[in-house]
Amino acid sequence: MKTANKTRIQTVGVAPAAPSSKIWAAAGLLVVAVGAAYANSFHGPFVLDDTPSIVENQSIRDFGSAQVLAAPPDAITTAGRPVVNLSLAVNYAIGGLAVEGYHVLNLAIHILAALALFGLVRRTLLLPTLSAQFGAAATGLALAVALLWAIHPLQTESVTYVVQRAEAMVGLFYFLTIYCLLRGAAAVRGSGWYAAALGTCALGMASKEVMVSAPVVALLYDRIFIAGSFRKSLRRRRGLWLALASTWVLLALLVYSSHNRAGSAGFGLGITVWEYARTQFGCIIHYLRLAFWPSPLVLDYGAPVARTAAEIVPYAIAVFVLLAATVAVLALRPKLGFLGVWFFAILAPTSSIVPLPGQTEAEHRMYLPLAAVVVLVVLAAYRALGWLGLRSRRAVVALVPAVTAVLGWGTYRRNQVYQSELAIWDSTIRNCPLNQRAYLSRGKAYDGTGQYDAAIRDYDDAIRLQPDYAEAYNNRGAAYEAKGQVDTAIKDYDKAIALQPGGAESYCNRGNVHQSKGQYDAAIKDYDKAIELKPNLAAAYQNRAIAYSLIGAFAKAWADVRVLRNLGGRPNPLFIDELTDKSGRSE
């Protein structure tokens, strides 16, 4: 009976594997090399979306609460992505807002993704359909692919920019989903591996929306590399495909619950489908250029839209040629065509027709697609060396370390820029001088160091580029207030509120000016509005408590102190002592 059962179980034969010592040595070398490239990345400050998604994200403050799985809409990068938010909560539970722990976990995720890619490529090259060409060198080729992919400077945004761990996490789960499929297909009984594939696919869906293509790409991988046809794949693994497809329901629920990523993605958000789509032609070609020449790298490209024929037509032609080539090669040489499908299928959610109005281009979107480019280059180089009559092993031994050293040095240098807010925004403005958000961000960095005149100049530039930029008016008002020019500050706050009536911070800041001028009723009215708009705005409770104390409303002041503490804020100890003396009680 056991023999009969075994005959009904269809598995995938593989070529003899390399000795385990060689595999472990390759994995160890990969870890050491990636660690060296990112050795200087651990002290970079929080930047850009790190502030709302980490620093101001109250949901990560209580690891024991279910709230860690439901980031608020203001937590831009983690809203609707519970696994990412949970990982940030782990960091906060261990080290609060100390940046080092966040960077260490980011690097760990990236290294795990590189190891998963190493395993996936190695086992793919050992499959019967590829082992004759690549099986003897499978471990070395897989190491070259994983190494070059992991230390490529283009990956720095997904690793060193803390909140973009979302990209690295979805990359890890994407690789693992297909790896587990491959292991399950090669096992006598693959149910455990298939269950793991389902789990990693679900985790990926709960990490970032680009995981949406994983079930389809996994099915195509099975058809091309394992089963040989869709019919055989569906017959052998129908349950797996239904299970993987069910994770789309999870993704849909998460997107819906986050209100289309807190209004950062979707239609009717200030940019049309055509405007966004035509811009993506140039973005895709730019990504490919950076894959081969990763300079200059830019943290924030802003939200430029392609408008002229020169900005659209050449790139559109290039993209359509690549798409046509992918379709043709997929039909004639499916294994090679799969790399094109991988590239376009993963880019599609962010680089097609669904607008992301706040960021039309971003380097972290190449985290997963870069793997297809690297695999193509490494395998093509390996075959070319053979055709040229060179001894491939010696050539690869000489070539890979040289390219690795160049890319690793580029990554190390890029990480140096991330160690300073001013440095990263200087670099961004130098390469994108029309990006108003970059001037705003550099202005914030100057504010943080007390360089208010420099900050005001940057806010002026941001407003020049975008005259209705409410946040720039608000921040410029704060800089003027810090300089003691309160009347000018009030004008900027008024302008910010007129442009964005829902801006809670502008009301809070204007309230501070009213309070400094002894206009306590006006100050409390502004704080009330700020709290109405943003109930978790700790500064508004702190400052309203002070205003209440100054007019003798001690009960209301203590009530605000309690709310502030519940939000995780720390009331000024001197104010608490003064309030205790004035009110005759303590809490």
The CA-based dihedral angle spanning residues 325, 330, 334, 340, taken in that order and rounded to the nearest 10 degrees: 60
Q: Looking at residue 17, what is its pLDDT?
A: 58
Mention every residue, 6+ apart, whose C-beta is less than 8 A from residue 339. Answer: 372, 375, 376
Q: Which amino acid is at 459?
A: Y
Q: What mean pLDDT is predicted for residues 426-446?
A: 96
Q: Are 436 and 465 in contact (CB under 8 A)?
A: yes
Q: Evaluate whether the domain defined by 422-583 bears CATH number 1.25.40.10.
A: yes
Residue 330 has which token pair?
A: 């997929």
**SS3 of 569, please?**
coil
Q: What mean pLDDT is predicted for residues 287-302?
A: 96
For the chain, domain boundaries: 42-417, 422-583
Whether 418 shows a pLDDT value over 90: the answer reads: yes
**In the chain, what percentage of residues exceed pLDDT 90?**
75
CA distance 487 to 194: 66
Question: Could you give the C-alpha distances from 33 to 48, 100, 255, 461, 534, in angstroms and in order?
Answer: 28, 20, 37, 41, 45
CA distance 417 to 578: 44
Q: What mean pLDDT is predicted for residues 384-391?
A: 69
Q: Are 507 and 525 in contact (CB under 8 A)?
A: no
Q: What mean pLDDT is predicted for residues 117-143?
A: 94
Angle at 208 between CA 205 and CA 214, to 5 degrees: 50
Q: What mean pLDDT is predicted for residues 374-391?
A: 82
Whether 76 shows a pLDDT value over 90: the answer reads: no
Q: Looking at residue 72, what is its pLDDT?
A: 84
Residue 517 has which token pair?
A: 């001028």
> Hunting for tokens 């439901």 — which residue is that?
70
* Long-range CB pairs of 400-407, under 8 A, 24+ apart, other chains included: 400/144, 400/147, 400/148, 403/148, 404/33, 404/147, 404/148, 404/151, 407/37, 407/148, 407/151, 407/152, 407/153, 407/294
Q: 84-113, pLDDT tens digit by residue? A: 999 999 999 999 999 999 999 999 999 999
Dihedral sign, Cα of residue 380, residue 385, residue 387, residue 392: negative
Q: What mean pLDDT is predicted for residues 117-135?
A: 94
pLDDT band with cut points at 50, 70 and 90 for residue 394:
low
Whether 576 shows a pLDDT value over 90: the answer reads: no
Q: Looking at residue 393, what is its pLDDT?
A: 57
Whether 537 shows a pLDDT value over 60: the answer reads: yes
CA distance 378 to 396: 9
Whether 166 shows a pLDDT value over 90: the answer reads: yes
Q: 546-555, pLDDT tens digit by residue? A: 999 999 999 9
Whether 136 shows a pLDDT value over 90: the answer reads: no
Q: 488-510, pLDDT tens digit by residue? A: 999 999 999 999 999 999 999 99
